[in-house]
């Protein structure tokens, strides 16, 4: 179960997405960019769903994407942008910060599949780092796993660290 930050100024959209995700993930809702920035430091989400067209919000959705991507505690966190805009060309300014993009309205199955894919990629990257890390890098990988709050990755990293410590003590 991942922690997902859902940022959308439309309450109906938030409720609809939360209902789709509630049985699979813990969803934290924000109606504005300011609310989202407060919640990020408290919950440290593993994925963010961001309405890039947040109206009457400071920061806007487009301004929020680089802020989230640049936050040290959210290194590698995927951002799934959702919007009524027709294509990613319409959001080209924030493309470097977006992991994936869905146009509203979207099929619930497509949303769930996209979330699963993004979470798997994020977990997979860190898991591969842990599997191949040197002893010094392993410590950094454990810190990064703790920052994204993934219990699975932290467990794998700690198991590997304990194994290396036992091997070193045995030498």
Mean pLDDT score, 108-119: 87
Q: How many CB atoms lie within 10 A of CB 152?
A: 12
Summarize pLDDT for 34-77 with one digit per residue, the tens: 999 999 888 889 899 999 888 777 787 878 888 887 776 677 78
**Cα–Cα distance measured from residue 50 to residue 29, given in angstroms and rounded to the nearest whole number:** 10
Q: Which domain holds residue 98?
A: 3-122
Residue 91's CATH number: 3.40.50.2300
pTM for the complete prediction? 0.70
In a domain, 44, yes or no: yes
- The number of domains in the chain is 1
Which residues lie below 8 Å from residue 64, measured CB to CB, with a gap of 6+?
7, 33, 36, 37, 50, 54
Of the spans 64-78, 88-102, 153-167, which averages the highest pLDDT? 64-78
Question: Mean pLDDT in the chain?
Answer: 78
Mean pLDDT score, 81-108: 74
In a domain, 70, yes or no: yes
| Residue 87: exposure state from Cβ atoms within 10 A (0-12, 13-18, ≥19) | exposed
In a domain, 166, yes or no: no
């Amino acid at each position: 179960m991942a922690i997902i930050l859902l940022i959308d100024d439309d309450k109906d959209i938030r409720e609809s997405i939360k209902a789709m995700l509630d049985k699979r993930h813990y969803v934290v809702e924000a109606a504005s960019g300011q609310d989202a920035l407060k919640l990020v430091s408290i919950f440290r989400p593993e994925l963010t769903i961001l309405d890039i067209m947040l109206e009457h919000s400071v920061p806007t959705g487009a301004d929020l994407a680089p802020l989230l991507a640049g936050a040290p505690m959210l290194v590698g966190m995927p951002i799934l942008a959702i919007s009524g805009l027709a294509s990613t060309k319409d959001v080209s300014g924030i493309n470097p910060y977006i992991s994936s993009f869905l146009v509203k309205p979207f099929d619930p199955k497509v949303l769930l599949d996209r979330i699963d894919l993004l979470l798997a990629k994020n977990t997979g990257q860190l898991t591969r780092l842990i599997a191949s890390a040197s002893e010094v890098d392993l410590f950094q990988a454990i810190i990064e796993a703790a920052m994204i709050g993934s219990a699975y990755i932290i467990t794998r990293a700690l198991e590997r660290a304990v194994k290396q410590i036992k091997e070193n003590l045995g030498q």
